[in-house]
Chains A and B, each alone.
Chain A
C-alpha cells in the first residue's frame, strides 16, 4: 500500500508538471495564430481604433507573458476566469459541457468495454476458428472507417431508413435520465464501433500470449474445462496490458470525440473547445485543454494502480 501511495504522489507531481507544459504550449499556440478575438468579433469592417479599444476593454493590450502569468496565478487559486466572447464564468460554461461529454463517454464505455472483453475472451477460446476470423474482420473494418462515416452509416440505417433513434442528440440539463440515454445511444454506438477493436484484440493477444505458460499446461493437466482455463487462469494474468488499452480508449472517449459531437450536434466539451479556438477565446481553450490533459493524467494513474492491484507479487510482497 505504501508503494501505491508513493506512486500516486509521484504521479500527481508529474501530472502537474505535464499540465503546466500543456498550458504553455496551448497559450503559445493560440498567440501564434493570426488574428485575435477582437478582430474575430468586430469583423473586417472595424476600424483600427475600435479594435484597439475593444482589446483594451478585454485586457488584451497587456504583453502576452504577463497575461500568461496572471492566468496561471488565477488558475492556481481555482479561478478559471471568464470567457472573452460572452463574459460568462468559464467554470459554469465548461461544467455543463464536460458533464455532457462524460455522460456520452460513460455510456459508450458501458457498452464497449464489456463487449470488447467478452469478444476478446471468446476469440482467444476459439482462436483460429471461423468466429475468431469473423470478429477480427468486423472490428477491424469498423475501426478502419473514419468516425464521421460510421456515424452517417448508423444515422442512415437507424435514424432514416428505420427511425429507431433520433439523429440529433440535443440534450440539456432538464432532459430526464433515460431520455438522455436514448438520445446519446447513436453517438455512443458510433464510438463503440471505433474503440472496440483495440480492446478486443489486446484481450485476445494478451490471453493467447499466456497459453504457452507452464501454469496453463498445468491447468490443462488438471482436467479443467477450456473456458475455465481461459477465464480463471489466463485472464487474471493478462489484465495489466488489457487495463492499459482500456484506459487509453476511455481517455479517447472523453478527449477525442469532437467529430462525433459535431455530427450529432451534441453539446460536449470538444465542440466548445473547437468553437473557442476559432473565436480565439483563449481562456476557454486553456481551461478545456487543462481538463483534457488532467483526464489523461488521472486515467493513466488509474491504469497503473489497477495493474498493481491485479498483480499479487506487488500487492502481497514476500
Chain B
C-alpha cells in the first residue's frame, strides 16, 4: 500500500460495530472492524455466511438492513461520517456517489419497469443528467458491458432478459451516475459457472475503465482473486487477515485463510468398475416433459455399485428432472428405468415399498426438506418404522445408531427440533433420514450448494466414508466442478436435456472434449490471480481458429 497516501483515501472505517436482532434482543454481529479503501481500488471482502461481509459492505454506505443497526465506530466517506449522517444526507450520496450491485439481479430489478427507466432513474432524480442524455449513456454502457443489442435492450422488462445479462445491466445501472464507489454484493453467486466468466470480465473492465473504487463481496476466494487488488478475510464479524491479493494467496498468514485456500484440494481416488458387472441402476433412453415442454431427450445413464456418478450441467439442463424421473416423481414419457436388473414402473405410485426403499434422495435445501415442527427422533424414526417396521426400543436404538453414523451425538441431538440446527447439521440429518431406509442408491441433488465451503467439504467427506462403510452408490447432481473433482468416479455432462458426454473422471478432466464440456470445465475459477486473463486470451485465440467457447445465454 506504499503507493497510496492518505489523500487518496475514499472510505475509512474505524471500529465499526453492528448489532443484529434475534427475537427481542440485540446481539453484536460485527465487532469493531477497520477498513480503508483508496480511490480506484478494488477491495475483496471474503468469508463464509455469518462472517458479516454483506453487512459491512452495506455499512460502508451507511445503510443497515431491517433487523440490523450500526452501533459504533465511524464510516468516513470522502470526509462525511455516514454513521452519523442524517437520512436525507445519505440519500444524496446513495446512487449518486456510492452505488450497490445486489446478488440477485432478477430480484433487485423492479419487475414493473423497463430496464432503461430503472437505469435513468438515479441520474435524473439526483439532478445529474437529463433523461435523454442518460439514455444515451445507458446505450454506451450497455455496449461497454457487452450486452447484446445495446440500443434496444433497455426497452425490455427484467423478466425478458437472462440472468447473466441482467447482472451486467445492474452493473451498468450502478455506473449510471459515475459513482466513486460501487459495492458488489456476491454479484455472480446466483449465476451458472459458464455465465459467470462474461460477467466477471465485464465488471472488471468497467471498473477499470472508469477508475471506480469497489468493494467486492464474495464467499469464493477464486473469484475474488480475479477481481480484487487487496483482500480482507472475515470470520464471525472479525477481521482475520488483510493483504495484497497476490501476497495473501502465495503466503496466507492465518490458519483459517489456509483452510479457505485448500478447500478445493480434497480428492478421492477413482473407484474402478469390476469387469463384467451389471449396473445397479440403468436409465435407458428416457424422455420426459413438463406438460408439453420437453425437458429430457433420450437420456441414458448407468450407475454401478459402490460408485459415484456425477451429473453436471448448468441450471435448466435437466439434471434435477433426471432425478425426478428415476425416482418416479415425474413419470418418463418413454424409455426404461431398471434397478438391479428389474424394470421399475415409471411412476412411484406403482412401485412397491421395497422398490421405493432401495433408492433415497437428499435435497439441496435442508431448511425446506425438513419439517420444522418435528424432532430429529421423528424425522429419522419415520422411515425406519415405515420401511423396516421397527418399533419401541429397537427403533430408538436404530435412530441413535444412525445419528452416530453422521457424527452427531445421539444424547444431545435426538430430541431437538430440526430448526435448532446449523445448515451443515441439517444436511447431516437429511443424510441420516436417507440412510434410515437402508438404500443401495442415494440421489444427492446439489446437496452442498447451499452450504459454506468448509462445511460442504465435511459433508463430502462424510458421504465418502458412508460409501466406503456401507457400499452405497451415489448419483451426485451438481453444477460445481470442484465437488466433481473431489468425489466422482464417473462424470455425465448434461446440456439442454441431453447427455453430451460421459466417462471416467480421470478422462473427463483432460481436454479436448465436446465444446460444451470444455466450456464448462474451463469456466471453473482457479486461485491463480491471472487465471481470468489467461482464460480470456485463450478463448480469444480459439475463437480466431473458429471454435467459440461462450455460454449460450451469456
Contacts and interface: CB of A to CB of B under 8 A. Distances in A.
Contacts of B93: 223
B66 A224 contact: no
A218 B96 contact: no
Given A221-B63, A236-B112, A214 B160 contact: no
Interface in A228-258: 228, 232-233, 236-237
Contacts of B111: 215, 237, 312-313
Nearest to B161: A318
Nearest to A236: B112
Nearest to A239: B112
- Which of B90, B93, B113, B126 has the most chain A CB atoms inside 10 A of its CB? B113
Contacts of B159: 312-313, 318
Given A212-B66, A217-B102, A228-B125, A312 B112 contact: yes
Instruction: Please report whether the interface of chain A is mostly helix, strand, loop or mixed according to DSSP.
Output: helix
Contacts of B102: 214, 217-218
Contacts of B153: none
A163 B166 CA distance: 63
B61 interface: yes
Given A312-B159, A316-B160, A217 B91 contact: no
Contacts of B104: 214
B121 A224 contact: yes
A232 B92 CA distance: 18
A165 B247 CA distance: 84
B56 to A, nearest CB: 15
Interface in B58-98: 61, 63, 65-66, 90-96
B160 A223 contact: no
Given A212-B66, A214-B104, A219 B110 contact: yes
B63 A222 contact: no
B95 A223 contact: yes
Given A222-B121, A223-B122, A215 B110 contact: yes
Interface string B143-177: 00000000000001101100000000000000000
B110 A233 contact: yes
A215 B158 CA distance: 11
A220 B87 CA distance: 11
Interface residues of B, number: 30
Given A215-B107, A312-B157, A318-B160, A223 B125 contact: yes
B176 to A, nearest CB: 9
A313 B100 CA distance: 25
B216 interface: no
Interface in A189-236: 212-215, 217-225, 228, 232-233, 236
A316 B159 CA distance: 9
A215 B105 CA distance: 9
A218 B112 contact: no
A313 B111 CA distance: 8
Nearest to A318: B160
A223 B179 CA distance: 12
B99 interface: yes
A314 B157 CA distance: 11
A261 to B, nearest CB: 40
Contact of A225 (B65, B90, B91): B91
B92 A223 contact: yes
A49 B520 CA distance: 96
B112 A213 contact: no
A221 B94 contact: yes
A224 B108 contact: no
A216 to B, nearest CB: 8
Contacts of A313: 111, 157, 159
Contact of A221 (B61, B109, B110, B113): B61
Contacts of A212: 66
A224 B65 CA distance: 16
Contacts of B126: 223
Contacts of A318: 159-160
Contacts of B108: 214-215, 217-218
- Which of B63, B95, B99, B112 has the most chain A CB atoms inside 10 A of its CB? B112
A221 B100 contact: yes
Contact of A223 (B91, B107, B156): B91
Contacts of B157: 312-313, 316
Nearest to B90: A223
A171 to B, nearest CB: 42
20 contacts: A214-B107, A214-B108, A215-B107, A218-B100, A218-B109, A220-B94, A222-B99, A222-B122, A223-B91, A223-B93, A223-B96, A224-B121, A233-B110, A237-B110, A310-B112, A312-B112, A312-B157, A312-B159, A316-B160, A318-B160
**Nearest 10 CB-CB pairs, A to B?**
A223-B94, A222-B95, A223-B95, A236-B112, A214-B107, A221-B100, A223-B91, A215-B110, A312-B157, A218-B108
Given A212-B66, A222-B122, A318-B159, 10 more contacts: A213-B107, A214-B107, A215-B111, A221-B99, A223-B90, A224-B91, A232-B121, A233-B110, A236-B110, A313-B111
